[in-house]
Structure 1
Amino acid sequence: MAKLVSSWSNGVKFIPKDYVMPPERRAGDYITVCKEIPVINLEDDRSEIVRQILKACQEFGVFQVINHGVSDKMMEDMMALYDEFFNLPVEDKLGVYSEKLRKGCTLYTSGLEYAKEDVHYWKDTLKHPCHPVEEHSPSWPDKPYRYKEEVARYVVEVRKMGFKILDMIGEGLGLREGYFNEVSQEHSMAINRYPPCPNPSLAMGIAGHNDPNLITFLQQDHYGLQILKDGIWMGVEPIPNAFVVNLGYQFHVISNGKLKCVEHRGLLNSSVSRTSIVTFLGPNPELPTVVEPAKELVTSSNPRMFKSYRYNEFIANYLVMAYNRKSGSRNGYALDPYRL
């Protein structure tokens, strides 16, 4: 537990050497927030929403949504809940702590496996499966005492929003309603805590990566999220009570390359803790779900770009690559074995 950054970093003046990134893995100069990333009001006319979402998915692979149906109070309560969780005494978190990511509910630090890393990320993460709630909630943290009740309500509302957005993306692509239900069996959450860092220019919250799943919904409180577009890192504005929506690898494949999966990373600051509450929807990594380009999107003018593959095999390969990746790998590298 002493390895958790949140357990020892308060008030430190210098970064321990095993958290100092080599120069080529640092974020570089501070990048201002980009105002071009679309912010979409889900209470607008549906046809206009569909148009805006599809355009954002084609150009950026990311957008933000407001008036999405998850109440402001619920989102504020969740931020308060996780602030309390990460500030709990060490002994209250022992039941879910591990030095590496594992199945089920896990509190861990840095990347996928602390002991195998040459340098560590300035981050703690709580990750757990969410759906069905009644199946997974017994493994969730026991403290704060309201955790299971509040998170269960949040899971239901975010899931409802998520499938609404998936249906609109499907509509924009010309796919039948409910198309993405078949590849969205998994619903999990990862809550990342980035404590204040005495010298953010030397450390990283998390390096650039693409999500392996279908689609991701992120709630953030402070600036730190950046996306890579046309070789340039762009900051994502932290809009109160908005969700950042980004596409993962599986969307890029199913859309036959029409929609972008976006590389993104997390930066640090020196004054406040940053919390990101992340929800993932995608195929179940325990099942051999077949992922392939939607047949409706393969034409003579847009020939098939990817082979069919089993998602559990993709995830196994993705994790191996993630363990071995140090820096600077080309965006989209995990899809290379499946390209035609």
Structure 2
Amino acid sequence: MESPAATNPSSRFDVENVPTNYTFPEKDRPGELPPVCHTLPVIDLGKALDAETVNLIFKASQEFGFFQVINHGVSEKILGDTTDVLKEFFASPEKEGSNSCGKSNWVYDGSVNFDVNGVHLWRENLKHPCNPLEECMQQWPHHPTRYRDVVSTYLTEVGKLGKRILDLICQGLGLEKGYFDGFSGVELLSANSYPPCPDPSLTLGILRHYDPSLITILYQGDVPGLQIMKDGTWITVGAMSNAFVVNIGNQLEIISNGILKSVEHRVVNSSEARLSIAAFINPSPSYIVEPAQALVTELNPARFKPKSYKEFVYSSGALGTHTKTLQRE
């Protein structure tokens, strides 16, 4: 018989041992966690943004598909307020039923998600659309009462940061200035609460996947958990206070004609509680994603078939959990 904590939403993570329906098969377990990687580039956006900054981002996007940014312009107060309000949401007993009453556009997942073997993820998740912001926020959670004001402020600032980063990537690729101006900013927020785990070697917070976004901007606070695949090995991304992790999504790999890399990643658990906030900057659903014409030549023909973003998402699976299914020519 399963532990009551395995089925009771209010107590399922408050256990001394990992329940069997949260224990992954041995071949999929993270096992002994590798040390934190200190080679992932950390890029300072607070200084003059020159050719060196562009080159650092470009190289990181080719070699790792990930980089961290500091002095990014999003204030510590905004980060602190957003973290606090999300912690309040996940601690609230109202989180599991309040979106079932009336019109809403957000989804709370108390670890209903599971892999093909029926093993549950060691996490709780809140996900909702963000664009157009003024319209979407009217249907976000209303508990805590300040949720909508705090999170909309956060997303506005992260959207500005995303535009700055895309402008720098645009320069690195040699595309015309403003190439990404038509993209509409943060389309989706996904916040994850990872409770303390009695044995992180047995569980996973998020399965291995590639992001279907253009770029993803992640805030992971002070507790590491994100792992990326590098040369066939999982490496753990260090957690830096007030830093953002940025990763290249599938759509940007397509637009760059394979120059930049969308890299597989996953989330492992910890003996400490962890909160992460992922903001996905995506094309609009009808946008036809294909290699930029300036990057397609006779010597470097198009490597991917054109496809609308909506087609890509629905053919690949749920956002943030699908495998890489880029259609190459």
Asked if Structure 1 and Structure 2 have the same fold, meaning a TM-score greater than 0.5 normalized by the shorter chain, the answer is: yes
How many Å apart are 1:311 and its aligned residue?
1.5
- In 2, Cα distance between equivalents of 1:167 and 1:217: 15
Q: In structure 2, the residue corresponding to 1:141 is in which secondary structure?
A: coil
Percent same amino acid among aligned pairs?
44
Amino acid at match of 1:106: V
Match of 1:192 in 2: 192
Match of 1:293 in 2: 291
How many Å apart are 1:29 and its aligned residue?
2.1
Amino acid at match of 1:334: T
Match of 2:179 in 1: 179
Match of 2:246 in 1: 245
Unpaired runs of 5+ residues, structure 2, are none
Match of 2:62 in 1: 58
Amino acid at match of 1:53: I
Residues 105, 54 of structure 1: alpha-carbon distance in 2 compared, 3 angstrom cutoff: same
Asked whether the equivalents of residues 4 and 109 of structure 1 are also in contact (C-alpha less than 8 Å), the reply is no
How many Å apart are 1:301 and its aligned residue?
2.8
Asked whether the equivalents of residues 196 and 270 of structure 2 are also in contact (C-alpha less than 8 Å), the reply is yes
Q: In structure 2, the residue corresponding to 1:234 is in which secondary structure?
A: strand
How many Å apart are 1:45 and its aligned residue?
2.8
- In 2, Cα distance between equivalents of 1:92 and 1:9: 15
CA deviations on 1:166-217 (whole Å, 9 max, x unpaired) are 0110011111222123344662100011111111111111111100111000
Q: Give yes or no for the alignment of 1:85 onto 2:85.
A: no
- Identify which range, 289-298 or 307-316, moves more after superposition: 307-316
The structure with the largest helix share of the pair is: 1
Q: In structure 2, the residue corresponding to 1:316 is in which secondary structure?
A: helix
Asked whether the equivalents of residues 6 and 86 of structure 1 are also in contact (C-alpha less than 8 Å), the reply is no
Residues 288, 40 of structure 1: alpha-carbon distance in 2 compared, 3 angstrom cutoff: same
Q: Give yes or no for the alignment of 1:68 onto 2:69.
A: no
Amino acid at match of 2:205: G
Q: Give yes or no for the alignment of 1:334 onto 2:325.
A: yes
CA deviations on 1:85-120 (whole Å, 9 max, x unpaired) are 11112x35412269xxxx921111336x56986111
When normalised by structure 1's length, the TM-score is 0.88
Q: In structure 1, the residue corresponding to 2:227 is in which secondary structure?
A: strand
How many Å apart are 1:7 and its aligned residue?
2.3
Match of 1:310 in 2: 308
- In 2, Cα distance between equivalents of 1:35 and 1:115: 30
- Which residue of 79, 96, 99 maps to 2:99? 96
Q: In structure 1, the residue corresponding to 2:218 is in which secondary structure?
A: strand
- In 2, Cα distance between equivalents of 1:123 and 1:200: 12
Aligned pairs for 1:134-213 within 5 A: 134-184=134-184, 187-213=187-213
- Which residue of 4, 7, 10 maps to 1:7? 10
Q: Give yes or no for the alignment of 1:35 onto 2:38.
A: yes
Asked whether the equivalents of residues 204 and 267 of structure 2 are also in contact (C-alpha less than 8 Å), the reply is yes
Unpaired runs of 5+ residues, structure 1, are 326-331
CA deviations on 1:59-102 (whole Å, 9 max, x unpaired) are 1110000111100111112111111111112x35412269xxxx
- In 2, Cα distance between equivalents of 1:240 and 1:96: 32
Asked whether the equivalents of residues 93 and 141 of structure 1 are also in contact (C-alpha less than 8 Å), the reply is no
Amino acid at match of 1:84: E
- In 2, Cα distance between equivalents of 1:176 and 1:69: 25
CA deviations on 1:211-259 (whole Å, 9 max, x unpaired) are 0111000001211111001111111110000000001100111000000
Match of 1:263 in 2: 264
Residues 124, 320 of structure 1: alpha-carbon distance in 2 compared, 3 angstrom cutoff: closer
- In 2, Cα distance between equivalents of 1:110 and 1:281: 24
Residues 234, 322 of structure 1: alpha-carbon distance in 2 compared, 3 angstrom cutoff: closer
Match of 2:49 in 1: 46
When normalised by structure 2's length, the TM-score is 0.91
Aligned-residue Cα RMSD (Å) equals 2.4
Asked whether the equivalents of residues 219 and 276 of structure 2 are also in contact (C-alpha less than 8 Å), the reply is yes
Q: In structure 1, the residue corresponding to 2:317 is in which secondary structure?
A: helix
Aligned residues: 321
- In 2, Cα distance between equivalents of 1:92 and 1:188: 19
Amino acid at match of 1:141: P
- In 1, Cα distance between equivalents of 2:319 and 2:70: 35
- In 1, Cα distance between equivalents of 2:95 and 2:166: 37
- In 2, Cα distance between equivalents of 1:249 and 1:177: 22
CA deviations on 1:127-151 (whole Å, 9 max, x unpaired) are 1111222101111111111111111
Residues 86, 117 of structure 1: alpha-carbon distance in 2 compared, 3 angstrom cutoff: farther
- In 2, Cα distance between equivalents of 1:73 and 1:104: 27
Q: In structure 1, the residue corresponding to 2:145 is in which secondary structure?
A: coil
Q: Give yes or no for the alignment of 1:19 onto 2:22.
A: yes
Match of 1:215 in 2: 215
